[in-house]
Structure 1
Amino acid sequence: MTLGACKNDSTSTNNNSSNNASSQVSSDSVKLESDSVATENTASNNTAIGTVKDFAISLEEAMAIYQKEVPNTDITGIGIDSSFGNYYYEVNGMDDNTEYELKIDVNSGEVKEKRDEKLDRDEQNGVKRNEDKLDLTNLKALKDITEVAINQAGGGEATDWSLDKELSITYWEIKVKNGNQEHEVKINAQTGEVLESELDD
């Protein structure tokens, strides 16, 4: 009888130890899962999230519309900005003696405005044209360039785009609004490299 009682106590002790060990493993498992979720959430929060606008008329289509309207000219600048909530491509170009500007609806491709102006005498005969014409070969997709700008700003939404030239480099300057802050990011149009980034409070 005494031996039987001792045996039962041993079994009970073993069961309790097993249950305690099981509880400890379960608790540790839950803790590890919680830590894993916390780590994933932190990584997710550190990922830049932004909005990339999708225009019905692509940049390439806008340039083709310009060339059709004003043939035998070189493009010297492109801007994308809004007027009363509607976005437009503003494409600038010139021939040897005249400067042109077209305003093109980003959704319909309709030319909303067309202007031209005679160049100054010292800018004529191709002088200004050769200085200002953009290198439009091997341009990175506008969507990709915009994503680079948004990531550089730490998130937000791109609101204005400007394609310009400095020395021999054709670059995009993109404004990104992130909360109450506005970033201006310059990006090489061919390589996607960030050239400059400024924060306007």
Structure 2
Amino acid sequence: MTIKGYGLGIMLLSVALLAGCTSNQSVKNNDNRQQSSSQSSSAKSVTATTKVSLTAAIKAFQQQYPDASITSIELETKLGRPVYTLEGDGGTQEHELQLNGRTGKVISKKSEQLDQEDQADHKANQLNLSKVISPSKAVAIAVHDRNGGHATELKLDKETGITYWEVQVRQGQRQVDVKIDAHKGSILETEHDD
């Protein structure tokens, strides 16, 4: 009877150990799947196909409009390609330049006259572009904050003196806008679109 008891005890202990190992392996597999999903989600982001750096896009704008200050930069996918849209003003004129994010070629450019109120706000609207985090860094921060998803659009803008990235993160059918301080990399706010 005692030999049967020991045998039964060893068998139960073995089953418990196997169940624990299987459960632990299941957790590891789930973690790997989540990490892989997060990596593949990042690969779908607009920055994954963008070859032109933010610095190069800014330089292209400044070459076209040397007297203008940049007031916003947007990066989004249009017709299957990444496109930068840079806007700025130079005293009396507002300028817009669209660049192919893969090749750096100019897609379009236009200028129009600013009204007097916008001319007065010229300095207040100018972005602080020194030491701005890259679009891919902004995407990584936003996707990490949302525990996955992919960025469909980014915009560098300014509000109440703070230059920030606004990153649209898509998670299935849901979209979340994440505002990130463009210099510190800290999240300022998140907004869920219904």
CA distance in 1, matches of 2:67, 2:153: 28
Equivalent in the alignment of 2:76: 81
> Which amino acid is the alignment partner of residue 32 of structure 1?
G
CA distance in 2, matches of 1:121, 1:26: 82
In the alignment, does 2:177 pair up with 1:189?
no
Query: What's the Cα RMSD here?
Result: 2.3
> What 5-or-longer segments of structure 2 have no aligned partner?
none
Give 1:84 shift: 2.4
SS of match in other structure, 1:195: strand
Equivalent in the alignment of 2:88: 93
Higher gyration radius (CA): 1
Give 1:164 shift: 0.5
SS of match in other structure, 2:91: coil
CA distance in 1, matches of 2:63, 2:134: 22
CA distance in 1, matches of 2:123, 2:16: 70
Equivalent in the alignment of 2:25: 37
CA distance in 2, matches of 1:131, 1:186: 20
Q: What does the per-residue CA deviation read over 1:131-177, in whole Å, with 9 as the maximum and x for residues that have no partner?
A: 10001111112211101112233321111111100011001111111
1:160 maps to which of 153, 158, 177: 153
Trace 1:37-186 onto structure 2 (pairs within 5 A): 37-44=25-32, 49=38, 50-51=41-42, 52=45, 53-54=47-48, 55-124=50-119, 127-186=120-179
CA distance in 1, matches of 2:179, 2:164: 7
CA distance in 2, matches of 1:144, 1:80: 14
> Which amino acid is the alignment partner of residue 92 of structure 2?
N
CA distance in 1, matches of 2:23, 2:85: 51
Give 1:44 shift: 4.9
Give 1:43 shift: 4.5
Q: TM-score, normalised by structure 2?
A: 0.84
- Kindly indicate whether the alpha-carbon contact (under 8 Å) linking 2:81 and 2:102 is maintained by their aligned counterparts in 1: no
> Which amino acid is the alignment partner of residue 31 of structure 1?
A
> Which amino acid is the alignment partner of residue 144 of structure 1?
K
Q: What does the per-residue CA deviation read over 1:66-104, in whole Å, with 9 as the maximum and x for residues that have no partner?
A: 111111321110011232222210001111221111000
- Kindly indicate whether the alpha-carbon contact (under 8 Å) linking 2:156 and 2:165 is maintained by their aligned counterparts in 1: yes
SS of match in other structure, 1:163: strand
CA distance in 2, matches of 1:129, 1:27: 73
- Kindly indicate whether the alpha-carbon contact (under 8 Å) linking 2:141 and 2:185 is maintained by their aligned counterparts in 1: yes
> Which amino acid is the alignment partner of residue 15 of structure 2?
S
CA distance in 2, matches of 1:114, 1:141: 24
